[in-house]
Structure 1
Amino acid sequence: MTSLPPHAPPPPPRPPGLDPLASQQAQVRRTQRTDRLLRIAIVWLLVLATLWVAQPYLSALWFSATGPRTVTARGELAPAEKATVDLFKQVSPSVVHVFAQGSQRVSPFAVQQEAPVQSGSGVIWDAAGHVVTNNHVIQNASQLGVRLASGEFVTARVVGTAPNYDLAVLQLERPHTPLRPIAIGSSEDLQVGQATFAIGNPYGLEQTLTTGIVSALRRRLPTAAAHEVRGVIQTDAAINPGNSGGPLLDSAGRLIGINTAIISGSGASAGIGFAIPVDAVNRVVTALITNGSVPVPGIGIVAARETETAQLGIDGVVILRTLPDSPAAQAGLEGATDDGYVRDVITGANGSDIHSMSDLAAALEEAGIGRDVKLTVERDGRARTVTVKVTDISQRRRT
């Protein structure tokens, strides 16, 4: 039997990290914890995937409205909305739908072909049943009809036309609905940026309201016979085919123009529309109702087309011929010779340069019927001044 020395120290303890059994047990615990977390994550992923797949069905089951929804209180309209609503209610009874049927055509393959029907808009001018529209809406029509805002359809006849202003006046025949003439405003004091409103029948859609602003003023709009309407209003209120002849309004519901044309590559609204100013409309319509025609200032000449003048390299109005007993003939102006030799070219009027027939027409209109206009006329390269009296050539045109 071996005995230890009485004062020998005990053996030192084994470090934990060096215990194989403890290290193995710690590794097992870590593995179990990882497996448990992985299983939990898989379970949650399965739950989320199940909820994602079932969500549409659960929403349809829990949230579908099985009865009429409760109406939410609207409250008061905004002031601008109320003003627009009131404007439409006030003005829409004065806007009509104009229908124009062309002459019927005879075909060798059919006894009769149905005549085409075009439509536009118009405004009730007075309580006597006069309606103002565009001349191009009713041009070459054999039958005319007007549908009032009430739905009543009334036949109409032409009172007078003014192609130079693209305006026409119709007379309703025995309407039963009380008529509400449109309120007349002024175009002289308009400002760019003012609100505009258009009511019409674009593409046959009756009583359509569009809004915009005055985009520009004092535009020039070419119409018939090389005439230009001056002071035309440009607006971005949507104007489409069928709006022609309808009213352009200010925020007070007053007529400030008659919508007549658009600029568009597609034929639809491109935000560039034009309206004949109401000051011109007021003057022209009064003349049409009173006399059936509008005085057209002129001097009695037939001018060459601008394309022909440009081909000759001439800047001005080339006189092809003068009408017998006209102011131009009496002033000694001469037209081109039979062999095409150009005699007189008008290059100025009352101190302003004249480049085209529209320039001359504007100068004559500014001078006024019955007054003299001083024309600068070139003949054989020499310029001279000729005084010519402006006359009404509308009577001569009709004869």
Structure 2
Amino acid sequence: MNYPSPQPAPARPFLSQALPYILMLLVGYLAAVWYGQWKANQLHDPDAEPRPVTQRGDLAEDEKSTIELFRTNAPSVVYIRTSQIEFDRFSLDATEMNPGHGSGFVWDRDGHIVTNDHVIASADVARVSLSEQSVWDAKIVGRAPGKDLAVLKIMAPAEKLEPIMIGQSNDLVVGQKVFAIGNPFGLDQTLTTGVISALDREIRTSENTSAVAAIRTIDGVIQTDAAINPGNSGGPLLDSAGRLIGVNTAIYSPSGAYAGIGFAIPVDTVNRIVPELIRHGKIIRPSIGIVPFQDRFTPNLTGVLVRDVLPNSPAQQAGIQPTRSLLASQGRRVRTLVRYGDLIVSANDQPIDDLNDWLTFLESQKAGNTINLTIIRNLRRNDEETITLPLTLVPSP
């Protein structure tokens, strides 16, 4: 018997094959949407209201004092912006470059502003912003690089200027509260608080002028843990009475930002130097009429070596000897020999170990004072001798 060959079943349409899967995906999607809405309803409360405010009592007394101190002294603190002028070599157009900033404070109603010397040292242009945001062009009145102090002047009307109250630093004690107001990182009118951490610190600076070049130290520096950051330089350090006790000048930090150690120039130094800068534009030291060597040229000597003696000066009249170069012939060869001048080793029984000691001593004296100067003559020769001479100080040339 012959049976027919089996025939393949006819192919089902694609849609009929995919339909069950599409339905499953649709059901899953709807379930996910429903679950999400259900979850959202569990997270959000449409009846949520602001919480009632808990009333507080009066501010603590120390908070009131801090607030009042800031309100009183903030108008005395200024924001200083600096820049350098660069000229295009072809068009000669001037452009302000390398912007910098720092802090300062109002010294008097004549428009004198005190800041750090390093804030304005390289500036061609300086502008001062007062607390009420008015901006004034500033001119440099005087600089004292060896003390890191400078005085600017703005032509603001007296009624806009609030001079800071001046305190004293010779009676400060470790542990008393201090307050710093300044412009760290350009954030103006910033208050930070702390205590005096230590007293009588020294910080090094440099003095490079037409008259002298020396590494200087600033004595009696105040150490504080009040936050002092870049931009605070030149701002005031205040005591709890709101009086100026120091000028913030430096921090100790490997990173360059606040690390808990800041330094301020004591106000007793500031109150002595600033009037001189206003009167003369520089520190006026009395003189004996010598030109000393810089310390870097005399690294193996303890004292100040006299390079030259000015004519008709007290030093010349007292017979102070300058350093001289001598030519000595040895057969056909000619050698240059250096004959050391006098080496200053003490003044009024105060040791003079380097140029900084000598300049600091002179800054403590006045023209007309007679001093006893101890020198070593004929240095490193067989006839070396120590001599003490009286000299009368005269105004610097």
For normalisation by structure 1, the TM-score amounts to: 0.76
Identify if the C-alpha distance between structure 1 residues 309 and 120 changes in structure 2 by more than 3 Å, giving closer, same or farther.
same
Q: For each residue in 1:106-158, what CA deviation from the matched residue of structure 2 results, as whole angstroms up to 9, or x when unmatched?
A: 44699555322221111111222221112221224322211111111112222
Identify if the C-alpha distance between structure 1 residues 274 and 106 changes in structure 2 by more than 3 Å, giving closer, same or farther.
same
Distance in 1, Cα, partners of 2:291 & 2:252: 30
Identify if the C-alpha distance between structure 1 residues 64 and 355 changes in structure 2 by more than 3 Å, giving closer, same or farther.
farther
Q: CA deviation at 1:229?
A: 3.1
Q: Which residue of 1 aligns with 2:377?
A: 379
Q: CA deviation at 1:176?
A: 8.5
Q: Secondary structure at the match of 1:104?
A: strand
Q: Which residue of 1 aligns with 2:362?
A: 364
Flag the structure with higher strand content.
Answer: 2
Paired amino acid for 2:320:
L
Q: Secondary structure at the match of 1:384?
A: strand
Q: Does 1:294 align with 2:283?
A: yes
User: Residues 28-107 of structure 1: matches in 2 within 5 Å?
Assistant: 61=43, 66-107=48-89
- Percent identity between the aligned chains? 47
Paired amino acid for 2:350:
S
Paired amino acid for 2:126:
L
1:219 to 198, 201, 204: 201
Paired amino acid for 2:152:
L
Q: CA deviation at 1:64?
A: 9.5
Q: Secondary structure at the match of 2:69?
A: helix
Contact in 1 for aligned 2:293/2:304 (Cα 8 Å): yes
* Structure whose CA Rg is larger: 1
User: Residues 160-239 of structure 1: matches in 2 within 5 Å?
Assistant: 160-175=142-157, 178-223=160-205, 224=207, 225-226=213-214, 227-239=216-228
Q: CA deviation at 1:213?
A: 1.4
Flag the structure with higher helix content.
Answer: 1
Distance in 2, Cα, partners of 1:201 & 1:60: 48
Distance in 2, Cα, partners of 1:300 & 1:228: 23
Distance in 2, Cα, partners of 1:299 & 1:222: 26
Distance in 2, Cα, partners of 1:291 & 1:314: 34
1:388 to 379, 388, 391: 391
1:323 to 295, 310, 316: 310
2:255 to 248, 254, 266: 266
For normalisation by structure 2, the TM-score amounts to: 0.76
Distance in 2, Cα, partners of 1:324 & 1:253: 51
Identify if the C-alpha distance between structure 1 residues 81 and 377 changes in structure 2 by more than 3 Å, giving closer, same or farther.
same
Q: Does 1:143 align with 2:143?
A: no
Contact in 2 for aligned 1:132/1:169 (Cα 8 Å): yes
Q: Cα RMSD between the aligned structures?
A: 2.7
Distance in 1, Cα, partners of 2:130 & 2:369: 43
**Unpaired stretches in structure 2, ≥5 consecutive residues:** 1-38, 208-212, 326-336, 379-383
Q: CA deviation at 1:245?
A: 1.1
Q: Does 1:347 align with 2:334?
A: no
Identify if the C-alpha distance between structure 1 residues 123 and 330 changes in structure 2 by more than 3 Å, giving closer, same or farther.
same
Q: For each residue in 1:174-201, what CA deviation from the matched residue of structure 2 results, as whole angstroms up to 9, or x when unmatched?
A: 3496221111111121112111111011
Contact in 2 for aligned 1:364/1:373 (Cα 8 Å): no
Paired amino acid for 1:146:
V
Identify if the C-alpha distance between structure 1 residues 179 and 113 changes in structure 2 by more than 3 Å, giving closer, same or farther.
closer
Contact in 2 for aligned 1:154/1:175 (Cα 8 Å): no
Identify if the C-alpha distance between structure 1 residues 172 and 345 changes in structure 2 by more than 3 Å, giving closer, same or farther.
same
Paired amino acid for 2:357:
D
Q: CA deviation at 1:60?
A: 6.1
Identify if the C-alpha distance between structure 1 residues 322 and 219 changes in structure 2 by more than 3 Å, giving closer, same or farther.
farther
Q: CA deviation at 1:61?
A: 3.1
Q: Does 1:242 align with 2:245?
A: no
Q: Kindly report structure 1 stretches of 4+ aligned residues shifted beyond 4 Å.
A: 57-60, 62-65, 107-113
Q: For each residue in 1:297-330, what CA deviation from the matched residue of structure 2 results, as whole angstroms up to 9, or x when unmatched?
A: 34333333334322xx322222222334433333
Contact in 2 for aligned 1:150/1:177 (Cα 8 Å): no
Q: Which residue of 2 aligns with 1:119?
A: 101
Contact in 2 for aligned 1:298/1:361 (Cα 8 Å): no
Between 197-206 and 140-149, the greater mean CA deviation after superposition: 140-149
Contact in 2 for aligned 1:297/1:361 (Cα 8 Å): no
Q: CA deviation at 1:83?
A: 1.4
